[in-house]
């Protein structure tokens, strides 16, 4: 687990997460049962090679002060990091899997980046390069998942090593905590928008679904591995500390209103199904 200068970062082509030399035989994040190594085997790349094949970042304004960074032709799993714009500095939730001068200039136009936080290791992307592009902005990494770092950004802030309920304030008005679930250190980020409503950025801790009235919970989304009813209820109880009107997940999904209630009723429905309460319907 070493540091690397911009330009020397290698990425797994499958998950997009950065890694320093010497490279392992296979990406540990992809070899884990929450992800996968493709049938064609391990492949490595880097941002310069991706750019030569058309990789780029586009920008989508979701609401006032929330901008998604959208991957086009990039390595990795296609997450849509969210830039939260505040009067106290901007926070990038999840890290892109690509970086370019054009993308950095665009983010500067939105007010830059004061801090980065990934919800879990699948979202580390090339966070060291984005941090370096913004004066070594701090990169928040949850303590239970720190060992997944294949490259440590120069300004890494390890947090949440005490207990799962621990909370930090990244900038005034933007707080993070660790309900766990998908990973032991899986984090959510809460922000109070200018309309006074609470917005929760949930990563893979709470997943959006086709019906915006509901959400879901999984250990692995690509491999469809569930969590237990007890863990799902724990996650719902954890996020109940926040007033949540809207949810933004990490792949562009959204619960547009009354999201706190959606989490509660979804957790109950999920727990009852996995606990066998509805087995007679199967």
Q: Provide the CATH topology of domain 10-38+55-281.
A: Metallo-beta-lactamase; Chain A (3.60.15)
CB atoms within 10 A of CB 83: 24
pLDDT, tens digit, 9 for 90 and up, residues 109-163: 999 999 999 999 999 999 999 999 999 999 999 999 999 999 999 999 999 976 6
Q: What is the value of pTM for the model shown? A: 0.95
Q: Which two tokens stand for residue 250?
A: 């990490």
CB atoms within 10 A of CB 48: 12
Tell the residue number behind the tokens 């390069």, with chain if given.
129
Q: What residue ranges in 105-180 does DSSP mark as E strands?
A: 115-117, 139-142, 156-159, 167-171, 174-177
Q: Which two tokens stand for residue 150?
A: 């294949």
| pLDDT value, residue 166 | 79
Q: Please say whether the beta carbons of 217 and 270 come within 8 A.
A: yes
Spatial CB neighbours of 184, under 8 Å, sequence gap ≥ 6: 144, 145, 164
Q: What is the pLDDT along the chain (282 residues), one digit of tens a residue?
A: 544 444 569 999 999 999 999 999 999 999 999 999 999 999 999 999 999 999 999 999 999 999 999 999 999 999 999 999 999 999 999 999 999 999 999 999 999 999 999 999 999 999 999 999 999 999 999 999 999 999 999 999 999 976 666 799 999 999 999 999 999 999 999 999 999 999 999 999 999 999 999 999 999 999 999 999 999 999 999 999 999 999 999 999 999 999 999 999 999 999 999 999 999 999
């Amino acid at each position: 687990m070493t540091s690397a200068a911009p330009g020397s970062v290698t990425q797994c082509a499958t998950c997009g997460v950065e890694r320093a030399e010497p490279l392992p035989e296979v990406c540990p994040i992809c070899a884990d049962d929450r992800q996968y190594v493709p049938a064609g085997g391990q492949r490595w790349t880097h941002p310069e090679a991706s750019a030569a094949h058309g990789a780029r970042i586009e920008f989508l304004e979701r609401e006032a002060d929330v901008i998604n960074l959208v991957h086009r032709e990039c390595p990795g799993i296609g997450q849509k990091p969210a830039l939260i714009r505040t009067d106290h500095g901007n926070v990038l939730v999840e890290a892109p899997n690509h970086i370019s001068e054009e993308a950095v200039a665009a983010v500067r136009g939105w007010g830059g980046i004061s801090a980065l936080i990934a919800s879990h290791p699948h979202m580390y992307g090339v966070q060291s390069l984005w941090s370096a592009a913004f004066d070594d902005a701090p990169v928040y990494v949850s303590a239970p998942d720190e060992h997944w770092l294949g490259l440590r950004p120069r300004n890494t802030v390890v947090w949440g090593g005490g207990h799962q309920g621990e909370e930090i304030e990244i900038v005034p008005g933007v707080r993070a905590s660790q309900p766990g679930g998908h990973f032991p250190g899986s984090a959510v980020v809460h922000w109070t928008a200018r309309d006074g409503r609470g917005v929760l950025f949930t990563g893979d801790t709470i997943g959006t679904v086709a019906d915006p009235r509901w959400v879901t919970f999984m250990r692995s989304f690509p491999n469809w591995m569930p969590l237990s009813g007890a863990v799902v209820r724990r996650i719902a109880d954890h996020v109940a500390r926040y007033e949540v009107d809207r949810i933004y997940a990490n792949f562009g999904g959204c619960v547009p209103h009354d999201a706190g209630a959606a989490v509660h009723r979804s957790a109950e429905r999920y727990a009852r199904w996995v606990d066998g309460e509805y087995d007679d319907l199967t």
